[in-house]
Chain A
Amino acid sequence: MRRLLATAGKEARILGRDRAGLAVLFLMPAVLVTVVAVVQEAALRLMGAPNLKIVLIDQDGGEVGQALRRGLTDAGVFDVLDQVDGQPPQIDNVRPAVAKGRFQGALVLAPGTTERAMERAGRLVDDLVAGRLPTPGPVPGTDVTVVADPALPEAYRKLLRNTTGAVLQGIETRFIVRGFAKTMEARMLDRIRAEVPAVAALAGSIKLPDFAMPDRPGSLLAVDEVAAAKEAWISEVPSSAQHNVPAWTIFAMFLIVIPLAGTMIHERREGTLRRLLVIPGAFVPVVLGKALLYLGVCLAQFALMFAIGLWLLPLLGVPALDLGAAPGGLLLLGLATGTAAVAFGMAVGAVARTPEQASMFGATLVVIAAAVGGVMLPTFLMPKAMQQIAIVSPLGRAQQGFLDLLMRGAGTGDILPHVAWLAAFAAVGTAVALTFYRQRD
């Protein structure tokens, strides 16, 4: 134990005097998580709850325009504008403004849109009542034109088109029902006069049921959205902190490969390892003492990054990191991740021949494992083959575990498979280090 602690203390002094190493381990990840979280939060807000400015150029002035205005506003993602710079909007100045991105889109209602829609509804009803099925086909001309910002993501264009289409379908239905109501009343009276001449004189005095069609008839089916997570505390739109804090923490931990492997190689090349190997029983404390110190560094990184998530990011407009319902699970997973990272660093230090080899090889592997493991991009967006590789990436396993705890309401028991996997990885890495470090000397 004395030798273990002596080695850990020696490594702490060496690392403490390595400013570049400390910057790589602490400053760089802190800056990364802050910048990426703030930038992504803005993007997440736009995707989760966008506020798209849509100019409504109503050249019709009828019911269709009113329905569109109401329907788009009720959708909760559109800001419908009736005026531009205090004036009624004109297509000639609105279209260039949309092209330049001042507005995300515009809807242009051609003159006579409402009248044409009512006429077509009436013809449709006449056909249906007469037993003639309407022939499907495109509606001639253009009644509603959708103009979108060329830079608007496809998802938002679809949102605008689909919402516009849903609102127009609603008003079409209303016109059709109204048409039916009028037609049915007249036809019923004609039928009564024709079939029962005896009461023909009374037909005008018969009161038929009123067919009423409210402006908003309401839904016939109820739709409810519930969170997939077990716990009710999961927020509807996860903040960027929930993904980025654990992701960059894991990345930072595995970056210890650079200083850790470097110190091992220096020790081997400069002869200090030889001096130590003369001492009986010193090899294991020499290796594990380093592991102890760097595990402490990993835990310090974990604390720093989570502290940034809890206290610094809110000052920059990002919702605070929510630690979930299993903080013990977070600590356990952090410890397992740190252990795996240390073992990886030791394995690279034992196998690489020069510090340059270790930093290139080790750092490149970490970036690849991070990318493949879903640290930078969710795994479900990746090709199938890469999703398979993600399962074996220690960074991917750690990231999955943290996401389960922080975003899916998992408990400590739920992440034990990830912890076990990371522990197994650590065991293999340590075995490689103990085997090859001595041999290389």
Chain B
Amino acid sequence: MSLLRAESLAKTYRGAAVPAVAGIDLSIARGEFFGLLGPNGAGKTTTLSMLCGLVKPSSGHVRVDGRDLSDPGARRMLGLVPQDLALYGTLTVRENLHYFGRMHDLGGRRLASRVQACLEMVALTEAADRRVDELSGGMKRRANLAAGVVHEPAILLLDEPTVGVDAQSRNAIFDTLTLLADRGLTIVYTTHYMEEAERLCRRIAVMDRGRLLAEGTPAALVAGHPGCETLEDLFLALTGRALRD
């Protein structure tokens, strides 16, 4: 049974000639690690924004565990790791996690233990009391991830979480996400890096110009497209080689 379902999801921004998302259907099972691939401007961020309720769809529905997204209970199951480093730069890592935890109605010992667990999970225990604006790019991305899971969501939505990150930090993020997925967290992961999708995702969808072009496991998708040996070949075959400015 799908934990997160999108039906005929579409979005046309005011004044835009073409829709950003042109009616897509997604069904993500509980515990699944789902990847959404696409070039720049494909509609990935808009899709993710609609899935977590930040953007109101022009049409279509999103359901979380069978409940409409307008249900506060449904929204509470969601966690977001945005593409931007959505942290307060002049606060420490610990203070950021503490604040977001409190906004998720955590408090007392539970909050303190969740904050500590998240710091350990992303290997930022030693840097916990440093200001975010003093951290390296990789450390900031790890802190960003920690803030998305401090409240133990059932579904985690990540929008290109490793942009501008060094290899070690990226690896650490992958390990953390794998661990979380093994513990049953349902993950929706957008990226335009093929190797990330291949490494992490059980199932992927390729998106371009607001539409889903292909959906399935990476191996099945590659096998199903003659002439494609890798996921990157498939991606380029589906989306073209033209630059996306």
Contact A270 B102 (CB under 8 A): no
Main secondary structure of the interface of B (DSSP, over half): loop
- Return chain A residues, CB-CB under 8 Å to B85: 270-271
In Å, the complex CA distance between A286 and B88 comes to 14
A278 in the interface (beta carbon within 8 A): yes
Contact B88 A14 (CB under 8 A): yes
Q: Does A272 lie within 8 Å of B54, measured CB to CB?
A: no
Q: How far is the CB of B207 from chain A (nearest CB, A)?
A: 20
- Which of A272, A278, A441 contacts B52, CB < 8 Å? A278
Q: Does A119 contact B (CB under 8 A)?
A: no
Closest chain-A Cβ to B51's Cβ sits at a distance in Å of 10
Tell me which residues across on chain A come within 8 A of B148, comparing CB atoms: 275
Contact B80 A275 (CB under 8 A): yes
Shortest Cβ distance from A19 into chain B, in angstroms? 11
Report B64-93 CB contacts with A as 1/0, cut-off 8 Å: 000000001001101110111111111100
User: Considering the chains assembled together, what is the distance between the CA atoms of A52 and B54 in angstroms?
Assistant: 72
A274-B84, A275-B147 given as contacts; is B72 within 8 A of A280 (CB)? yes
Contact B54 A278 (CB under 8 A): yes
Closest to B98 in A: A6
Closest chain-A Cβ to B95's Cβ sits at a distance in Å of 6
How far is it, in angstroms, between the C-alpha of A13 and the C-alpha of B94 when the chains are bound? 13
The answer for the CA separation of A17 and B90 in the assembled complex, in Å, is 7
CB-CB contacts below 8 Å: A194-244 with B: none
Q: Tally chain A residues at the interface, Cβ within 8 Å.
A: 26
Q: Does B107 contact A (CB under 8 A)?
A: yes
Verify if B99 is at the interface (C-beta below 8 Å from A): yes
Residues 273-304 of chain A, each 1 if its beta carbon lies under 8 Å from chain B, else 0: 01111111110011000000000000000000
CA distance A17 to B91 in the complex (A): 9
Which listed residue (B84, B90, B104) contacts A14, Cβ 8 A?
B90
B240 in the interface (beta carbon within 8 A): no
Q: A18 interface residue, CB < 8 Å from B?
A: yes
User: A14 contacts which chain B residues (CB < 8 A)?
Assistant: 88, 90-91
Which B residues are CB-close (under 8 A) to A286?
A: 103
Q: Which of B72, B76, B82, B91 contacts A271 (CB 8 A)?
A: B82
Please state if B86 and A272 are interface contacts (CB–CB under 8 Å).
yes
Q: Tell yes or no: A10 within 8 A of B by CB.
A: yes
A274: contacting residue among B82, B90, B100, B104, CB under 8 A: B82
For residue B53, CB closer than 8 A to chain A, the reply is: yes
**Nearest Cβ distance between residue A212 and chain B, in whole angstroms?**
88
A10:B99 contact, CB within 8 angstroms: yes
Q: Are B91 and A278 in contact (CB under 8 A)?
A: no
A280 CA to B80 CA, complexed, in Å: 13
Residues in B neighbouring A282, C-beta threshold 8 A:
103
Measured CA separation A270–B82 after assembly (Å): 10
Asked if B86 and A275 make an inter-chain contact with CB atoms under 8 angstroms apart, the answer reads: yes
Interface membership of B105, Cβ < 8 A: yes
* Known contacts A6-B99, A274-B80, A274-B82; A281/B72 CB under 8 A: yes
A158: CB under 8 A from chain B? no
Kindly state whether residue A132 has any CB partner on chain B within 8 Å.
no
A-B pairs with beta carbons under 8 Å apart, 12 shown: A2-B102, A2-B105, A10-B88, A17-B90, A270-B85, A275-B86, A277-B54, A278-B78, A279-B75, A279-B103, A280-B72, A286-B103
- Extra contacts besides A275-B148, A278-B52, A278-B78 (4): CB < 8 Å: A6-B103, A9-B99, A274-B54, A285-B103
